Each structure stands twice: as structure tokens, then as C-alpha cells.
């Protein structure tokens, strides 16, 4: 056997080994054996990381449109403080609700119709309103003069009501102290809180919600 022949046989042998290794690897991968060993079979006995992750909180989804359950009131519905089937009314502080009930009855007896345009709000709803205000007023600083943050809003704690219509706002601004109800922000004649004793005196209103 001459040298060129040995070299040729050696090359043939190496080539055969390479082909076999490639073929076996391809076969294992094709059968999903290597693939499943590498990635971990889904549905196996080992708990997946996703199962331990905290579930998404619906209230943290900024895209969820607030609804009645968040305290949204349809202004066209003429909702009053007596509509306790609505979360916006039911979740108000009971003392505030009682004061507004009395005021609504007394105003109505004098021909002044009193409606609630906003009462309790969920934090999600409040954030939604703030986001809207930032868009329409151009900055958070301007928006904060009209819409509070969820952690500061008196609506979120159930301690504030927005009253309509305009003549009812005027009536309540004039007579609210009888019930302990006061205008707390000078720029929001519709926003009332229970801040004094019935027959007491209202503290000076702040310029706006950010002050």
C-alpha cells in the first residue's frame, strides 16, 4: 500500500465519521430529543416561573375604561344623593351622605334641584381623570389645579361630592354651613366637603386643588 492510498483511506474514514455524527445529531434534533432537553418540555413536572409571577392587577391597567363600579356617573341621568345603588353614592362617607341628603331635601323644598355629578371614585378612575386633564391642559402642574392625584383626592376616600346644577351650587355655597358642607376650592364651586359642624363656619377655601 503506497502513501497516497493510506491518505485517501484516512480522509474517507474522517469523512465518514463526520457524516455519521451530523446524521445522528440531525436525527435526535428532528425527533425533538435534543430540542426538549435544551428548552425544557412544556407541561413538565417542574413549576414554571410564570406560575409564581404576581397576577396583573386590573386597577393597574391604564387602558381599562372606568365604569360604574369605579364611581362613574352619567351626568345625563340626574343622579342624586339618594341613588345609593350606585357605587359613586354608596361609597361616600355616611356622614357626608347624610348631610347632602338633608341639603338636597331642603333645596328641593325651595324649588332648587340638586344632583350629584361626581361622588366616590376608585383610584383607577381618579388616575384616568388626571391623565385626561394632563392631556387637555398640557402639563401635570396645570392639571393638578383641577384634578388631584389618586392618593390625595378627597373623592377617592369618599369625602367629597360634586354638586349640580349651577343654581344648586349657589344655594349650597350660601346655605351649606347649616349642614357642615363647605366649598373647599375657590376654583371649583361644585365641589363640597363636610368640614365643619352643622351651623359652624367654613374655613377659607383654597385657591385650587394643588394649593
Nearer to Zn ion, 6 or 164 (CB): 164
193 near Zn ion (CB under 5 A): no
162 near Zn ion (CB under 5 A): yes
Nearer to Zn ion, 154 or 177 (CB): 154
* Cβ contact 162:125 at 8 Å: no
Nearer to Zn ion, 144 or 191 (CB): 191
Nearer to Zn ion, 61 or 77 (CB): 77
For residue 64, the number of C-alpha atoms closer than 13 Å in the C-beta half-sphere is: 17
Q: At closest approach, how far in Å is the CB of 155 from Zn ion?
A: 6
What's the rounded Cα separation, in Å, for the pair 51 and 71? 33
191 near Zn ion (CB under 5 A): yes
Q: At closest approach, how far in Å is the CB of 206 from Zn ion?
A: 13
For residue 144, the number of C-alpha atoms closer than 13 Å in the C-beta half-sphere is: 9
> What would the DSSP string read from start to end of 146-166?
TS--TTT-TTTTT--EEEESH
Q: Chain-centre distance of CA 58, in angstroms?
A: 8
What's the rounded Cα separation, in Å, for the pair 108 and 163? 13
* Binding region for Zn ion (CB under 5 A) out of 23-31, 35-43, 93-101, 155-163: 155-163
The alpha-carbon radius of gyration of the chain (Å, integer) is 35
169 near Zn ion (CB under 5 A): no
144 near Zn ion (CB under 5 A): no
Q: At closest approach, how far in Å is the CB of 114 from Zn ion?
A: 15
Give the closest residue to 160 by CA, choosing from 121, 115, 102, 202: 121
Nearer to Zn ion, 13 or 151 (CB): 151
Q: At closest approach, how far in Å is the CB of 200 from Zn ion?
A: 21
Q: At closest approach, how far in Å is the CB of 59 from Zn ion?
A: 21
> What would the DSSP string read from start to end of 189-201?
TTEEEE-S-TT--
Chain residues binding Zn ion by CB under 5 A are 160, 162, 191
Amino acid at each position: 500500500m503506497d502513501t497516497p492510498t493510506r491518505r485517501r483511506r484516512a480522509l474517507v474514514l474522517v469523512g465518514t465519521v463526520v457524516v455519521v455524527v451530523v446524521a445522528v445529531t440531525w436525527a435526535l434534533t428532528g425527533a425533538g430529543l435534543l430540542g426538549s432537553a435544551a428548552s425544557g418540555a412544556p407541561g413538565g413536572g417542574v413549576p414554571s416561573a410564570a406560575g409564581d409571577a404576581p397576577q396583573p392587577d386590573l386597577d393597574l391597567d391604564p387602558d381599562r375604561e372606568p365604569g360604574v363600579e369605579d364611581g362613574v356617573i352619567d351626568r345625563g341621568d340626574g343622579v342624586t344623593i339618594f341613588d345609593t345603588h350606585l357605587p359613586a353614592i354608596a361609597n361616600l362617607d355616611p356622614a357626608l351622605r347624610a348631610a347632602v341628603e338633608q341639603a338636597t331635601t331642603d333645596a328641593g323644598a325651595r324649588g332648587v334641584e340638586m344632583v350629584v355629578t361626581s361622588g366616590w371614585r376608585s383610584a383607577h378612575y381618579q388616575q384616568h381623570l388626571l391623565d385626561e386633564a394632563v392631556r387637555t391642559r398640557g402639563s401635570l402642574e396645570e392639571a393638578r389645579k383641577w384634578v388631584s392625584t389618586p392618593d390625595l383626592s378627597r373623592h377617592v376616600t369618599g369625602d367629597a361630592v360634586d354638586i349640580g346644577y349651577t343654581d344648586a351650587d349657589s344655594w349650597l355655597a350660601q346655605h351649606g354651613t347649616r349642614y357642615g358642607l363647605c366649598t373647599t376650592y375657590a376654583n371649583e364651586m361644585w365641589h363640597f366637603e363636610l368640614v365643619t359642624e352643622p351651623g359652624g363656619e367654613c374655613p377659607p377655601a383654597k385657591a385650587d386643588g394643588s394649593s
